[in-house]
Amino acid sequence: MTISHGFHATITARPGKGGELVDFLLTSSSAANEDCVVFLVGRSATDPDVVHVTEGWTTEEAHHRFLAADEAQDLVAHLAQLIAGEPEYVDEVPVGGKAAI
């Protein structure tokens, strides 16, 4: 499947909430969406409250459709309770690699 839209986000959880944030992201509806081809969650090796997310979507439009759905709005509302400040986003389109998790 072709990926034409993606990003890498760095999200800082509220103090002590890094594990809860990781668990929530790993069970989120983004990962289950058929247009979300890449969904990786990682943690900082030095700060357990810093979480990194890489997403790759078939198209930007598919990502926007997902974000407009009620399910995604619920996801965003729950995330707001776990994070401190605004996530930092970097434009990134995954092109290949390996994930053996």
47-76 confidence digits (pLDDT tens): 999 999 999 999 999 999 999 998 888 888
| Both tokens assigned to 85 | 């400040």
> In whole angstroms, how far apart are CA 77 and each of 16, 72, 74, 91?
19, 9, 5, 23
What would the pLDDT profile of 26-53 be if each residue is shown by its tens digit?
A: 998 888 899 999 999 999 999 999 999 9
Whole-model pTM: value is: 0.90
pLDDT at position 101: 67
Average pLDDT, the chain: 93
The span from the CA of 47 to the CA of 50, in Å, is 6
Strands 5-12 and 88-91: antiparallel
CATH of domain 20-86: 3.30.70.100
Q: What's the rounded Cα separation, in Å, for the pair 7 and 93?
A: 6
Give the per-residue pLDDT at 23. 96
